[in-house]
Amino acid sequence: MGCGSCSSSKDGGKPGGCKSNGGCSTGGCNRLNVHDWLLNLPFSDPESNCKVIEVSFKQGSRKEFFRNSTLQYFDKGDYVSVEGVSGFDVGEVSLTGELVRLQMKKKGVDEFSVEMKKILRRSTDRDIETFKISKSREKEILARSRAIARQLNVQMKLSEVEIQADGKKGTFFYTADDRVDFRELIKVYAGDFKVKVEMRQIGIRQEAAKVGGIGSCGRELCCSTWLNDFKSVNTTAARYQNLSINQTKLSGQCGRLKCCLNYELDTYLDALQQFPDYAETLDTAMGTAHLIKKDIFKNLMWYVLPNNTKHYPLTIVRVKEIKRLNREGQKVDELQPVEITGKQKEVEPAFVDLVGQISLKTLEKDDRRRRDQERSNRGAQQGGGQGGQRNQGPRDQGSRPQGSRQDGPRPPQQNRGPQQNPGGQGPRQQGPRDQGQRPQGPRPPQQNRGPQQGGQGPRNQGPRPQGPRPPQGPAPDAPKEN
């Protein structure tokens, strides 16, 4: 994964962005880089410059210092051939100039050391070709070496293999909890891979730096990009920052506590100096209040009373006053907590269509408005249909069949005056019907209806008489009155 400024240049496909910007900060191009801000500054005396160059191997996984005895000028990103073990190695120039002295002082390397290796030459095409062939063997050797270590039952974990450019030496990086006896393992490696074997033990954090990855913050791991000095981290840093002691959340990809727990620790320690000491408990009339949290941003101390789940935020002044009264042998009646107001909800700005774009919220509002309009129209139609119908009770002759009914032609209706309801309920209003209005008088008994079978079949009826309907007698099953 390269940076956004990386682009292939015309000279051999070298990433032009890394060279022009003074170094890429991501792990894809080169890791643990330092921005050379003195790169374009002219120097009057070239010989007064630092004669040591920092060279990185395996994309910044390993960096070493080499002496430039020929005083040849090298740009950042150039491939150089340096002294190796019984041969040569090829690396990439990562830092030149005066900043190399600062890096050597930081890492405790003597500039005038005799043991420092030299730069042989600028890498030729043949050197680069040999270098690529050797690097192509690393994955196969790593897989094979892990299988051999498993067969020999060696309690260690191989994380990376680095082969020298000329293929004469191989460095095996491993992690182990205890001391490992790999004398037999080295013999097998040297016989199978035909290289001079060097076993180098690294820590768990260094292994995570070589593997790389994405942290819980969403960015690349600090150990893979810029962090090279690993300090000890313990749970005390989490307690000072009021973090829950959860091993899953506080651990990084290496299985150890996250290095970022130390980043803000100094800020918390400075802010906690104004908080009173020995204020873990407060004696009150309601019981002993215990301290559960310190808020350095609002300068509040949170307490809880026994047999009570409510939390009481107190100011620093109030806590000091209660501790003074407790030393005098007095107990306060109330804690006088501070009222915590909730965060006001931010008002979302209204959408302004300036460039003719349509937002998702606008589409949702239109869709909701259309659904409401269809629902209201459907309700109005149902209400109009129900208003024209007449609610009738059950008839004595049984319910009408639900099947199809063939009615005969009805005579045309004449305009009749308002009819009085015999029941004394007043005029009854009915909705319009397609066949005209129906008379409201009593209906005569129906004859020749024939037997009905469950009321399910069709029923042929002729035109109904329009005369008055005589009163019907009581039902045969109804009880008679005495």
Q: Which pLDDT tens digit goes with each residue over 282-295?
A: 999 888 999 998 99
| pTM of the complete model | 0.57
CA–CA gap between residue 30 and residue 23 (Å, rounded): 8
Task: Give me the residue label for tokens 């319009």.
Answer: 432
Helix (H, G, I), strand (E, B) or coil at 64: strand
Distance of CA 218 to the CA centre of its chain: 8
CA–CA gap between residue 140 and residue 153 (Å, rounded): 20
Give the pLDDT score at 441. 55
Map out the domains of the chain as residue ranges.
Answer: 16-124, 137-209, 231-273, 275-327
Q: What is the mean pLDDT of residues 330-358?
A: 70
CA–CA gap between residue 375 and residue 369 (Å, rounded): 10
Name the strands in the sheet holding 157-163, side by side, starting at the edge strand that comes first in the sequence: 157-163, 169-175, 196-201
Q: Is the pLDDT of residue 258 over 80?
A: yes
**Alpha-carbon torsion angle 383, 388, 389, 392, nearest 10:** 110
Residue 380, classified by CB atoms within 10 Å of its CB into exposed (0-12), middle (13-18) or buried (19+), is: exposed
Q: What is the mean pLDDT of residues 182-208?
A: 91
Phi, psi of 363 (to 5 degrees): -65, -40
Which candidate, 244, 334, 249, places its Cα nearest to that of 285? 334
Which candidate, 100, 47, 103, 58, places its Cα nearest to that of 76? 100
Cβ-proximal residues to 310 (8 Å cutoff; 6+ apart), any chain = 304
* pLDDT band, very low/low/confident/very high, at 48 (cuts 50, 70, 90): low
CB atoms inside a 10 Å sphere around CB 96: 21
Share of residues in the chain with pLDDT > 70 (%): 65
Give the pLDDT score at 137. 92
CA–CA gap between residue 143 and residue 161 (Å, rounded): 10
- Give yes or no for a contact between 268 and 274, defined as CB atoms under 8 angstroms apart: no
pLDDT tens track for 93-117: 988 888 888 888 888 888 888 888 9
Q: What is the mean pLDDT of residues 139-164?
A: 93
Q: Which residue has the higher pLDDT, 86 or 409?
A: 86
**CA angle, 144 then 145 then 147, to 5°:** 65
Give the pLDDT score at 197. 93
What distances in angstroms separate CA 277 from CA 272, 293, 296, 331, 352, one per listed residue? 10, 13, 14, 19, 55
Phi, psi of 146 (to 5 degrees): -65, -40
> How many Å from the N-terminal Cα to the C-terminal Cα in the chain?
104
Task: Give me the helix-helix angle, 138-151 and 183-193, nearest 10°.
Answer: 140
**DSSP-assigned beta bridge partners for residue 158:** 174
Which candidate, 182, 125, 110, places its Cα nearest to that of 153? 182
CA–CA gap between residue 195 and residue 134 (Å, rounded): 11
Average pLDDT, the chain: 76
Amino acid identity of residue 81, one-letter, is S
Task: Give me the residue label for tokens 């009819």.
Answer: 419
Which candidate, 44, 41, 59, places its Cα nearest to that of 97? 41
Q: Is CATH 1.20.120 what the domain over 137-209 is classified as, yes or no?
A: no
Give the pLDDT score at 124. 92
Which candidate, 308, 325, 273, places its Cα nearest to that of 294? 273
* pLDDT band, very low/low/confident/very high, at 326 (cuts 50, 70, 90): very high
Distance of CA 156 to the CA centre of its chain: 34
Residue 188, classified by CB atoms within 10 Å of its CB into exposed (0-12), middle (13-18) or buried (19+), is: middle
**DSSP-assigned beta bridge partners for residue 295:** 300
Q: Which residue has the higher pLDDT, 61 or 476?
A: 61
